[in-house]
Amino acid sequence: MPIREGQGSSRNNSNPIQASGLGSPNVNPLNVSVDQDDNDGLTVLQFDPFNVYGVGGLIVKFGYNDTDTGLNNFNFVQTITTNSPMDGATSPYIDPQPPDDDLPFYWTNSELPGYTDTWGYNVMLIDAPYRGIQNGTSWQAELSVVGTDNYGMYNPIVTITYGFYFFNNTVFVYPIRTVTPSSFQTDSINLANPL
């Protein structure tokens, strides 16, 4: 199962959450409210910050079940804003970077079948974004579940933001928020639509 770079579940809380103890003094499991389905069919299944051997980030898993949108062909579009881009990227950028193909989706057409209609969800996203721990490093994702309408046009169904940053060698997470897609996110989704 490929793990890609990507992006706490303290919705409606403007304060970041501090991660503490997965094996080091600044890494502990974070008990956040998961298995919630109050984001138009998007469920947070896992949201675990980590800090191991000078590397920190998140392990995330989201599941989506359609709520009678009338859309099909579900996938994810995830864009990243960071002050520490990897692999020659310029922030913001479409994840994965470098791209696997010419489409803006998180999963390629060949990868997608492994993440659709499995574990009780129409489509799943699993990610483990990370960075070397340096004070001030920030990483934030904007994630949209998308589907096609009767004309084959991809439309966003639900969009969230999430992420992490480092301070005093500790991983902090940004709360998951439901948002209106940014212009960069909308432009990225539209790359999948016929002209």
Residue 194's pLDDT band, with cuts at 50, 70 and 90, is confident
- Give me the pLDDT at residue 153, please: 97
pLDDT above 60: residue 92: yes
Three-state secondary structure string covering the chain = CCCECCCCCCCCCCCCEECCEEEECCEECCCCCCCEEEECCEEEEEEEEEEECCEEEEEEEEEECCCCCCCEEEEEEEEEEECCCCCCCCCCEEECCCCCCCCCCCCCCCCHHHHEEECCEEEEEEECCEEECCCCCEEEEEEEEEEECCCCCEEEEEEEEEEEEEECCEEEEEEEEECCCCHHHHHHHHCCCCC
- Give me the pLDDT at residue 114, please: 96
In tens, the pLDDT along 37-91 reads 455 899 999 999 999 999 999 999 999 999 999 999 999 999 999 999 998 899 9
- Give me the pLDDT at residue 192, please: 96
Ranges of each domain in the chain: 17-190
What's the burial of 16, exposed, middle or buried (CB within 10 Å: 0-12/13-18/19+)? middle
What predicted TM-score, i.e. pTM, was given to this entire model?
Answer: 0.83
In tens, the pLDDT along 149-161 reads 999 999 999 999 9
Section 128-149 average pLDDT: 97
What residues form DSSP beta bridges with 60? 47, 127
pLDDT above 80: residue 26: no
How far apart CA 180 and CA 152 sit, in angstroms, is: 22
pLDDT above 70: residue 116: yes
- Give me the pLDDT at residue 87, please: 86
How far apart CA 129 and CA 85 sit, in angstroms, is: 11
Signed CA dihedral, 74, 71, 174, 137: sign only: positive
pLDDT above 60: residue 25: no
